[in-house]
Amino acid sequence: MPVQIRRPDRRECERCGRVERWNEAADAWRVDGGGGDVFCIHEWDINGAFLPFEGTED
């Protein structure tokens, strides 16, 4: 079975509330609706628990 790349299409900063969405065309995160603190060292809610690849638990 091929490796599936699991990529969230949305992430939110747990510190300042900034929300970003994945832009497929730009292949980059883009701010969704503005807001947040530009000086914040963003703590994304997908950190830690998110596994970028399927089947890599071992």
d(CA 20, CA 31): 4
Give the range of 1-9, 14-22, 25-33, 47-55 binding Zn ion by CB under 5 A.
Answer: 14-22
Sole binder of Zn ion in the list 12, 16, 21, 22 (CB under 5 A): 16
13 touches Zn ion (CB under 5 A) = yes
Report DSSP letters for 28-39, one per residue.
EEEESS--S-TT
Closest CA to 21 of 39, 43, 53, 44: 44
For the bound state, the minimum distance from the C-beta of residue 20 to Zn ion, rounded and expressed in Å, comes to 10
Residues 17-46 that bind Zn ion (CB under 5 A): 18, 40, 42
